Amino acid sequence: MKPTKITTLGLSLVLWLCTQAAWADIDTTAAVLPVYNAANLDAKNEAKLVKALEAPLKARDGYDLVPQSRSKRAMGKRPSSPDAAKLAAIGEAVEADLVVACRVSAESATRKERKRDYEFALYFVDVKGGALLASQEGSCDRCTSAELAKAIGAKTKALYAGPYPLGLDTDPSGAAVKVGDEDWGATPINKRIAGGTYTLRIEKDGYKALEVEFEMPDDRPVYAALPLKEDPNWSPAPVVLVPPPIALGRNEASPPAAAPPVAPEPAAKPAPPPVEEPPATPEPREEAKPAPVAAPEPEPAPEPVGRRLEEGDEGEDAPPPPARSVKKEMSVQRKWAWRTIGISAATLAGSLAFTFSALYADDRASDGKLLPSTQRDYADRRDAYWIGAYTLYGATGAALVTATVLFLTESPEPRQAVIVPAITPDGVGLSAVVRY
């Protein structure tokens, strides 16, 4: 045998072993939870019910049961009514694949009664799928606790009958799974199927197709993860863009249609000789009469300016509309005149303040009751106040004179400056006249 064939056979054997290892029998872990006791059963009778639920699972090969002590710790405080989501959460806490729960209630909650009417409900939950696989309800009238356990044990056969889920995943996920012509979707999948032999075909772009045959048991779930091998020869399919068909119109270059056959024309007969006609005599022409010219219509006279004359009017024109009052803008010279008046008012107020201060200081300087040094101090202040007062009086007078000149020299017309050449016996120059 050639070395290449040996190598190929070895690789195929390794791949087959890896595939079979993924489907190898793995023990299923089940957790039978303590009873949801709404019938006030004692611990001994509760244990009887738990044993009735565990017995069918212990009889199966490959089942591991979670200890009751661990289930009690994970369960904590038991509510009155279980649901699939809470049971799946408890199963994850104890690392179980399946969870079994039982709820029992009774019409009479007195333990002294030996026989009572019981009602019970059984729940079978897939932890990984988080789904309720099966549930059973029943009742036991006038039963003892032993008879109740027997009735619950009879319901477990239908509870554990299946079908069980198949949990399948691939590495990487997203592979298409088909069984014959039936499409199971993309991995990961969780599907309840009946027991039997199945052939799965798993395909994913960029990886080699995998075909697996396995036996689905009828008494337990199956969970598997299959590795996919990359295909070095795989390449994405080319994208072919097909242009849309173009409809050819009349003006497009299309093959001309075949013309219908044309029948031959018959031979033309010889024309007869022309007959000479006598020349026509010209008819007398009538002179065209000139068309009458219509007289031009008189144009309407323009209406007189003003209002129209109505009956009872004296014929006077309407008075012209009143002229709009135009606000005259203040000239720059007048603005400065008013500003100068404001300055003079301010300096006058300051000069009066200095005057009153000087008079007060003069009065204190002439007071004989004060010390000579104090009198001299007031005398110095008086002189300083008078200097300030006289200075501001002068500024006030100058401002008033300036304002008066600005008011008097203001002209309603703008200033004009006329420059003319001047020729004198002494020389030539320019003369400027500024008009205010």
Residues 177 and 134 placed together within one structural domain of the fold: no
How many independent structural domains does the chain possess? 3
Residues 141 and 176 placed together within one structural domain of the fold: no
Which pLDDT belongs to residue 394? 93
Contact between residue 178 and residue 210 where contact means Cβ atoms under 8 Å apart: no
Residues 151 and 203 placed together within one structural domain of the fold: no
Work out the pLDDT band at 84, boundaries 50, 70, 90.
confident
Residues 150 and 171 placed together within one structural domain of the fold: no
Greater pLDDT, 377 or 411:
377
Residues 36 and 145 placed together within one structural domain of the fold: yes
Contact between residue 96 and residue 31 where contact means Cβ atoms under 8 Å apart: yes
Asked whether residue 344 is domain-assigned, the answer is yes
Tell me the CATH number at 227. 2.60.40.1120
Helix H or strand E encompassing 341:
helix 332-365
The predicted model scores a pTM of 0.47
Greater pLDDT, 55 or 329:
55
Which pLDDT belongs to residue 8? 40
* Residue 287 pLDDT exceeds 90: no
For residue range 161-184, list pLDDT tens digits in order.
Answer: 878 888 889 999 999 999 988 999
Asked whether residue 117 is domain-assigned, the answer is yes
Work out the pLDDT band at 391, boundaries 50, 70, 90.
very high
- Quick one: how far is CA 404 from the chain centroid? 75
Residues 94 and 146 placed together within one structural domain of the fold: yes
* Residue 351 pLDDT exceeds 60: yes
Which pLDDT belongs to residue 284? 52
Which pLDDT belongs to residue 353? 93
For residue range 123-166, list pLDDT tens digits in order.
Answer: 999 988 888 888 899 999 888 888 988 999 898 888 888 788 88
For residue range 224-240, list pLDDT tens digits in order.
Answer: 888 999 888 887 767 66
Residues 112 and 155 placed together within one structural domain of the fold: yes
Render the burial of 180-199: b for 16+ CB within 10 Å, e for the rest. eeeebeebbbbeebeeeebe
Residues 6 or more apart from 334 whose CB is under 8 A from it? 406, 407, 410
Which pLDDT belongs to residue 282? 55
Asked whether residue 154 is domain-assigned, the answer is yes
Greater pLDDT, 249 or 379:
379
Asked whether residue 95 is domain-assigned, the answer is yes
Lowest mean pLDDT among 41-50, 124-133, 279-288, 335-344: 279-288
Contact between residue 129 and residue 165 where contact means Cβ atoms under 8 Å apart: yes
Asked whether residue 383 is domain-assigned, the answer is yes
SS3 of 412, please? coil
Q: Helices (H), strands (E): how many in the chain?
A: 7, 15
Contact between residue 80 and residue 38 where contact means Cβ atoms under 8 Å apart: yes
Structural domain containing residue 384:
332-408
- Residues β-bridged to residue 31: 99
SS3 of 385, please? helix
Helix H or strand E encompassing 335:
helix 332-365
Token pair for 227: 């590795």
Look up residue 20 and give its amino acid.
Q
